[in-house]
Amino acid sequence: MFKTKILFVGPTESGKTVVANFLSDTTENVGGEYRPTQGVRILEFESQPEGSGDKICEVELWDCSGDFKFESCWPALMKDCSGVVIIFNPDIPSHLKEIETWHSIFISTQSLQESQCLLIAHHKPGCEIEHGRLPLAPNLSRLPLIHSDLEEEPEDVRHSFYRYLGNVVKTMSESREREEMSIIT
């Protein structure tokens, strides 16, 4: 069984916890009162990533607080992570700028490949949804982007995440194989 650690990061009130709960089947309730995550929540579940054949993957979703008062903990959270998902609310204009900071802290510093990263534009219930192009910074526009609407298209979100997980597992497998070959030769 393959084990993978995925960090969910992004601005406060972007919907990280809602998406993490949904993907891990922790809860069926998509709405509710906002309660900020304190530090980090770790959700564990098994998944069969797209393109992995019959392989089952043990997933750790690290739902990280978007509050900068926990910034001193972030290096510890990043240790041994397999991938990073930046979640933001495209209906809040400041989030488009803030995600550049999240990219620089969690993706650039770890030299992750694009296949190990994902942007989720999470649309909250009742918001007007435009699935058009977002005005993203050049370093962010290269990353895969999905629009999350858990009320209208929940299974599309799940399917896109499983495809992303498959890319992460493939990247990790290739990296492990290269490492093993370098030891042998």
CATH number at 91 reads 3.40.50.300
Total domains present in the chain? 1
**How much is the mean pLDDT over the chain?**
87
Q: How far is 164 from 170, CA to CA, in rounded Å?
A: 10
What does the pLDDT read at residue 28?
47
| Structural contact between residues 57 and 23, judged by C-beta atoms closer than 8 angstroms | no
**164-178 pLDDT per residue, tens:** 999 998 888 777 777
Q: How far is 175 from 61, CA to CA, in rounded Å?
A: 21
Extended strands (E) in 48-90: 57-64, 83-88
pTM of structure: 0.88
Residue 84, phi then psi, degrees to nearest 5 = -135, 130
Owning domain of residue 96:
2-184
pLDDT confidence tier of residue 130, bands split at 50, 70 and 90: low
- Centre a 10 Å sphere on the Cβ of residue 92 and count the other Cβ atoms it contains: 15
Q: How far is 174 from 178, CA to CA, in rounded Å?
A: 6
Long-range residue pairs from 124-130, CB within 8 A, at least 24 positions apart, any chain: 124/15, 124/89, 124/91, 125/30, 125/31, 125/150, 125/151, 127/91, 128/91, 130/90
Residue 22 pLDDT > 50, yes or no?
A: yes
Element at 118 (helix H, strand E): strand 117-122
**55-65 pLDDT per residue, tens:** 788 999 999 99
